[in-house]
């Protein structure tokens, strides 16, 4: 009996040692991380507003982590090429991506390569976009009322661009159009710069986007008709929100950093802490100001919960707008 007891104790000790030895590599991995450059995917074109903000965050995180955080642009598919890459990546912290609200919305609209509730590790939410709709300065459309009047008189003739199907700039306008009782023609682009060039070239009548249009508005080349936030912007206080104009449309659109599913919690904490620290960097805050973004911080747990709740809300919105995937 005592031999049996002795064997059992030895077995339990050995089992404990195995668990400890399994835990050690994970701990060592987090402690030694990063030992090489980190790839941070920006799923939008180079030189657009998202790209500039992501580069500022990457430069700041590089200083904190002591290894280079390299931006890799993967534009197209409404910002979903970054998330698609995470599905295939190892959960070692060396492949990260910017994630927008689109990850919680597009799965309701079309078949995706990922399940947003299972396939990602949501590390930290950092900031959010200011969105608005612009026209060329010489456009006869001077206000949102002009746009609505034109669209009512010419159903389907008013064309507007956005950064892709199912993006917030697309859906905010569709929500507004639905409330206004008008039909518009949507033209999706890969990113800000393509859409703005199309507007300047006269190929579309308006463009809905984050503040890539700001220099054109400030130079007088474009007119900002409305913004989509819950309140007017500091930079263009004279420009109304769609909400205050009576169209019950608010889009405050936070975004953050995520990695593949199955990342070690100690590793997640280390990356989270580095990116949280970027939000104190004057260079990052100056870039946010330049593109009219504010700090919208959520830690790992809160950000994960936010995505789950947003996924449920977006389902209802997509169904209401008649954009749900046909099954």
CATH at residue 278: 3.40.190.150
Domain membership flag for residue 18: no
The last residue of one of the domains, among 194, 229, 247, is: 247
Specify whether 209 is located in the same domain as 268. no
Specify whether 182 is located in the same domain as 225. yes
Specify whether 176 is located in the same domain as 233. yes
Omega before 34 cis (within 30°)?
A: yes
155: domain CATH number is: 3.40.190.10
In order of 60, 121, 188, 288, 300, the CA distances from 276 in angstroms are 10, 16, 33, 14, 11
Phi and psi at residue 118, in whole multiples of 5°? -125, -25
**CA gap 251, 222 in Å, rounded:** 22
Helix (H/G/I), strand (E/B), else coil: 185: strand
Domain span at 49 = 30-128+253-320
**CA gap 108, 315 in Å, rounded:** 6
Cα dihedral: 77, 78, 79, 82 (round 10): -30
Specify whether 151 is located in the same domain as 241. yes
Q: In what order do the strands lie in the sheet with 69-73?
A: 69-73, 38-42, 95-99, 253-260, 120-129, 294-298
**CA gap 284, 290 in Å, rounded:** 10
Helix (H/G/I), strand (E/B), else coil: 240: coil
**CA gap 292, 93 in Å, rounded:** 29
Give me the pLDDT at residue 22, please. Answer: 47
Specify whether 156 is located in the same domain as 218. yes
**pLDDT by residue (tens digit) across 84-109?**
999 999 999 999 999 999 999 999 99
The last residue of one of the domains, among 191, 223, 247, is: 247
Give me the pLDDT at residue 69, please. Answer: 98
Contacts for 40 with CB less than 8 Å, ≥ 6 apart: 54, 57, 58, 61, 69, 70, 71, 72, 96, 97, 98, 257
Domain membership flag for residue 241: yes
**pLDDT by residue (tens digit) across 20-78?**
444 455 566 788 999 999 999 999 999 888 999 999 999 999 999 999 999 999 999 99
Q: Are 73 and 55 in contact (CB under 8 A)?
A: no
Specify whether 106 is located in the same domain as 169. no
Q: Are 325 and 110 in contact (CB under 8 A)?
A: yes
Q: Are 195 and 163 in contact (CB under 8 A)?
A: yes
Which residue has tokens 């976009």? 129
Give me the pLDDT at residue 252, please. Answer: 77
Specify whether 122 is located in the same domain as 270. yes
Domain membership flag for residue 260: yes
Specify whether 259 is located in the same domain as 121. yes
**CA gap 139, 77 in Å, rounded:** 30
Q: Are 276 and 124 in contact (CB under 8 A)?
A: yes
Specify whether 268 is located in the same domain as 310. yes
Domain membership flag for residue 225: yes
Q: 326 in the Ramachandran plot: left (φ > 0), alpha (ψ -120 to 50) or beta?
A: beta
Give me the pLDDT at residue 28, please. Answer: 65
Specify whether 138 is located in the same domain as 284. no
Domain membership flag for residue 25: no
Contacts for 251 with CB less than 8 Å, ≥ 6 apart: 131, 168, 171, 172, 228, 229
Domain membership flag for residue 99: yes
The whole model's pTM is what? Answer: 0.84
Domain membership flag for residue 2: no
Give me the pLDDT at residue 234, please. Answer: 87
Give me the pLDDT at residue 304, please. Answer: 98
The total number of structural domains in the chain stands at 2
Task: Give pLDDT < 70 ranges for the chain.
Answer: 1-28
Q: Are 120 and 261 in contact (CB under 8 A)?
A: yes
Specify whether 70 is located in the same domain as 170. no
Residue 221 burial (CB < 10 Å; 0-12/13-18/19+)?
middle
The last residue of one of the domains, among 188, 212, 247, is: 247
Specify whether 35 is located in the same domain as 179. no
Give me the pLDDT at residue 321, please. Answer: 87
């Amino acid at each position: 009996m005592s031999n049996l007891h002795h064997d059992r104790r030895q077995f339990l000790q050995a089992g404990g040692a195995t668990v400890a030895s399994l835990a050690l590599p994970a701990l060592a991995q987090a402690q030694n991380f990063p030992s090489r450059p980190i790839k941070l995917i920006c799923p939008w074109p180079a030189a657009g507003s998202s790209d500039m903000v992501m580069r500022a965050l990457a430069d700041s995180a590089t200083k904190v982590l002591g290894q280079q955080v390299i931006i890799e642009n993967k534009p197209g598919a409404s910002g979903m090429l970054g998330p698609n890459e995470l599905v295939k990546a190892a959960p070692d912290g060396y492949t990260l991506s910017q994630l927008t609200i689109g990850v919680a919305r597009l799965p309701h609209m079309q078949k995706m390569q990922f399940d947003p509730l299972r396939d990602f590790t949501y590390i930290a939410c950092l900031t959010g976009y200011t969105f608005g709709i612009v026209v060329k300065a010489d456009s006869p459309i001077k206000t949102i009322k002009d746009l609505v009047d034109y669209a009512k008189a010419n159903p389907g003739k008013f064309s507007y661009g956005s950064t892709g199907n199912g993006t917030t700039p697309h859906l905010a306008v569709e929500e507004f159009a639905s409330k206004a009782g008008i039909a518009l023609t949507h033209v999706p682009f890969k990113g800000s710069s393509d859409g703005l060039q199309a507007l300047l070239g006269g190929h579309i009548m308006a463009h809905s986007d984050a503040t890539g249009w700001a220099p054109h508005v400030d130079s007088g080349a474009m007119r900002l008709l409305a913004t989509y936030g819950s309140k007017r912007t500091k930079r263009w206080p004279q420009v109304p929100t769609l909400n205050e104009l009576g169209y019950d449309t608010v889009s405050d659109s936070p975004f953050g950093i995520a990695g593949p599913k199955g990342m070690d919690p100690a590793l997640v904490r280390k990356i989270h802490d580095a990116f949280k620290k970027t939000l104190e960097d004057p260079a990052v805050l100056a870039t946010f100001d330049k593109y009219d973004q504010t700090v919208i911080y959520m830690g790992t747990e809160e950000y994960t919960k936010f995505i789950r709740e947003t996924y449920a809300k977006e389902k209802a919105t997509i169904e209401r707008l008649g954009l749900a995937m046909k099954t």
